[in-house]
Structure formats: structure tokens, C-alpha cells
Amino acid sequence: MTILNDILTEKKMEVSKLKKDSFIKGPEKKVPTFKERVQQSSHMNIIAEIKRASPSKGEIDLGVDPIVRAKQYEQLGAAAISVLTDEPFFKGSMDDLRLVREAVDIPILCKDFIIDPIQIDFAKANGANIILLIVAALSQEELVELYQYAKELNLEVLIEVHNEEEMKRALGLNPEIIGINNRNLKSFDVSLATTEKLAAMISNADTIIVSESGMKTKANVELARDAGAKAILVGETFMLAEDLAKKFQEFQVDLT
Ligand SMILES: O=C(O)c1ccccc1NCC(=O)[C@H](O)[C@H](O)COP(=O)(O)O
């Protein structure tokens, strides 16, 4: 059993309890799209994550105030904010996402393990602008169905891959945004070589490549940039940074 199997087992139970009619929909906020933010930026676009805990690290910052943290990320120039909404493995919640939505005016990624359209409705009702679809968690049929459903709802979709086979499946959708996750879901090892190897498979220059996980140093970010990434997704390093502003500045490398 991999951690993904464990997470998906939990997720199926969670989904069975979600009821569409019971969602309390917050007021919709008009914010720029992530794609627009990337197109207008000449430096590395940062998706800064609110991450209380993780399977690989355990507790990171259980008591983080999502409103304070989101405002800091926005002020420091984040292109988007990722909110981990999974509770059992990451100690996040949809309440976190809703609070962040009220606090900031930049796009928000609902970082969860989506296996059913009802989760997309739930994410949208709580203010998400971008949803994550993890290729490893879905059959191709499910991936296509969920992708199309999210697009119909005017959501942006970050399609996440870990290896060549998943990249081929993702490319079949001709997606606008592809996330290459550098963390091996079995071993939790992180290797930026994953971004180098998989980014080389993308021939469409308009596809926005997001290099995810394991960004610790400026050299890591430059390597991702040189491989073709226009954006990075950073959790742990920001959550544990002693000087968040300095770390942010270090990661906003020039893209030109
Ligand atoms: O972070 C984990 O331990 C993890 C384990 C299993 C599935 C997903 C996991 N993380 C989700 C993410 O993709 C990361 O939170 C995100 O890319 C940021 O990573 P990092 O900067 O290394 O915290």
C-alpha cells in the first residue's frame, strides 16, 4: 500500500458524506486568473502553500493562522495561494480555504485529492479558483471527466504528474497548466531531476509548467526555471522559514 492508496481510501469515505444541497456558498470574488498572473510576470511565479502537516514531515505548523499567513503571501507577491484542505493526512480544512478566500484577492488553489465532481463543487463554493487533479489518483476516463467538469465551472486546473507515463496521459488533455511533482509518493524522496526529465516532454510553449515540492534553495528554483518552469509550488520551506520575506525574494528569480 502506498500513501496515495491510504489517502484515496479516506477520500472515498469523505466524498460519500458530501451532499451538494448542503453547501453554503460564499460570495464570489473576481480575481485575476493564475494564467494571467503568470503571463504578466517576468519573475518566477510562486504558489505559496498553507501546509499544517504532511505525511512526509509530520507536524509542520498546526497552529498557523491561515488569514495572517495568506495576507503575508499576497503582500510578498505570491502569484497564487495553495491551501491544503485534506484533514486526515495534512490537517487542513475547507474552513481554511474559505478564510483565505475572504482575506486575499489572488487566485487560490484547492490542494486536495479530487476523485469526484462533488469535491469540485465544494471547492468552488468555498472560493477556490484552481483545483488540483493528480493523474496518479485517477483513471484516464475520470481525469477527462473531472477536467471537463472543472472547466465548465470556469475553474483553472493544475494537472499533476510524477513520471513519464502520467505526463503522456496529462498531455492528452492539452492542459494549460501542468504541475510536475518532484516528490516520489512511495519513498517521499525529492528530486528536481523529475522536473528536468518531464518538462522536456512538453512541446507546447504556452503550457505553464509548475515545479512542485522540495524547493529549498535559490539554486533549486533556478534549476526548475532552466528546465522550463514558470512557476513553483512551495510549502514546507515557507512554513518553516525564519525570514519569510527573504526566502520569498530569493525564490523570485528572473524569468527573462
Ligand atoms: O508533502 C507530502 O508529504 C505529500 C505526501 C503525499 C502526497 C502529497 C504530499 N504533498 C502535497 C504536495 O504536493 C506538497 O505539499 C507541495 O508540492 C509542496 O511541497 P513542499 O514545498 O515540499 O512542502
pLDDT number for residue 22: 73
Residue nearest atom 19 of ligand 1, based on CA coordinates:
213
CA–centroid distance, residue 21 to ligand 1 (Å): 31
Residue nearest atom 12 of ligand 1, based on CA coordinates:
213
Which among 1, 130, 183 is the best mutation to test ligand 1's pocket, defined by most ligand atoms within 8 Å of the CB? 183
Domains and CATH numbers, the chain: 44-251 (3.20.20.70)
Question: Between β-strands 80-84 and 58-59, what pairing exists: parallel, antiparallel or unpaired?
Answer: unpaired
CA–centroid distance, residue 142 to ligand 1 (Å): 22
pLDDT number for residue 256: 86
Which among 213, 239, 244 is the best mutation to test ligand 1's pocket, defined by most ligand atoms within 8 Å of the CB? 213
Global pTM? 0.97
Residues tagged active-site: 49, 51, 111, 160, 181, 212-213
pLDDT number for residue 19: 82
pLDDT number for residue 25: 79
pLDDT number for residue 1: 63
Name the average pLDDT for the chain.
96
Can you list the residues of the chain whose pLDDT is less than 70? 1
pLDDT number for residue 23: 75
